[in-house]
Amino acid sequence: MKRLLSHATWTISAVAALFCLAALAGCQKAKEPADKAADAPGFEPKVTNGRDLEFPPKPPQVSNFKTTEAKPVNTSEQRFTGRITWNEDYAVRIYSPVAGQVAKIVADVGQKVAPGDDLALLHSSDYGQALSDYLKAMATLTQTEKTFKRQKDLTTYGAAATKDVEQAKADYDNAVAEKDRALAALKRYGTPTGDFSDLYHLRSPIAGTVVDKKINNGQEVRPDMILGSTTDVVTPLFTIADPSHLWILLDVPETDLNELKAGQDVELRSPAYPGRVFPGKLVVVGASLDPQTRVVHARANVENPDGVLKAEMYVTVNVKLPTTEGLSVEVPASAVIYIDGKYYVFVPDKSDPNKFSRREVTVMHERSAGATVVIQGVKPGERVVSDGGLEMNDYLGDGEGEGSKPEPTTTPNS
């Protein structure tokens, strides 16, 4: 009985093994590429000059390559992502110059203010002491002025000694100096209000809109918030800005600096307002690269009269770059290959459809989704390989395109 069971078990195992081998053989055949013929030695292209490819007649892989005609453009654009911020030429951040406690908040976010309008009232012993010193100095000045005047009047009748007049004059001069000192100390906190209380009036120095408020009733404030070096003590109590004037901050990659100059027109687009274009102007291009990110910080101005653009919005910024007609062309982004910091395209031979040449080009940032502006290396009307360029580059064997592991590559001549 045991022998029968053993024989049955062996038979089942053998059948299972044969089935697995058959399945593996089938999988192996399925994994063979459909275009195996294209990889056969007879279909490999001839490489010359390190940049030219010549395929044999009727190669199967060439039928998979697609070409597109380069279209001339009169104005190219560089596209960046920008962040909207307040225009610092029309904005001010308000800190408290006195130590004290918030007694009343007068202004709120969104409220328009004029120069001198109250933003908040603060109970401040520092301000109270400065005000008290000023009031005492004024009282002393008033008294010494009267004494000095009386002594001068008495000398008219010979009823006052010269030394008494001189002393009254000295007291008066000292009172004037003390008043000036006390007034200067008081003015460090702003123009006196005239209500003569310890309530300090925190005012707006400019006309604008309250765009941010970081203050609460009863909150303790102090002047060293202005000088603090940590993030929890440098937050302003109020931010006043003019929302009709905004800045757009741009981070420009090192490779996109070509032809970028202050004064160029820009166009802003926001996903919040589809189809709407906001005109602006590039005003600053940084003088140095950020050592960490390898970008240059740039800035554009934009007018926002209806207030629809908001600070901290992210927008698409197209920088207008006037070019000489006929020199710049637009090609599909897929046609451009990036190798070791340089850009290339493959151009088919006009007389032989089986010949292609890799050509170095100078490109701008993407003009629009799926399109790139080439400013040097391709002429209007020339065709470029828009699908299959990476495969062609593999045949050259001297570098790999963007998205693959980079390898050293030679610089081809254009």
Give per-residue pLDDT as tens, 250-262. 999 887 787 788 9
Task: Answer yes or no: is 282 within a domain.
Answer: yes
Let me know whether 248 and 297 are in one domain: yes
Closest listed residue to residue 101, CA positions, set 232, 187, 200: 200
Let me know whether 259 and 275 are in one domain: yes
Let me know whether 160 and 281 are in one domain: no
Query: Domain containing 226: what range?
Result: 93-124+198-241
The pLDDT assigned to 43 comes to 67
d(CA 57, CA 123): 92
Let me know whether 219 and 340 are in one domain: no
d(CA 88, CA 213): 17
Let me know whether 247 and 318 are in one domain: yes
The pLDDT assigned to 155 comes to 80
Let me know whether 255 and 355 are in one domain: no
Task: Answer yes or no: is 20 within a domain.
Answer: no
Task: Answer yes or no: is 109 within a domain.
Answer: yes
**Mean pLDDT of successive 10-residue segments in the chain (414 residues)?**
41 43 41 44 78 86 88 77 95 90 94 94 86 90 90 78 85 92 83 69 93 92 62 76 96 82 92 93 93 92 95 92 70 92 93 93 71 88 94 78 36 34
From the CB of residue 203, how many other CB atoms can be counted at a distance below 10 Å? 19
Let me know whether 229 and 112 are in one domain: yes
Count of the separate structural domains present in the chain: 4
Terminal-to-terminal C-alpha distance of the chain: 84
Let me know whether 103 and 207 are in one domain: yes
Residues 164-177: tens digit of each pLDDT? 888 888 999 999 99
Let me know whether 277 and 298 are in one domain: yes
Let me know whether 237 and 247 are in one domain: no
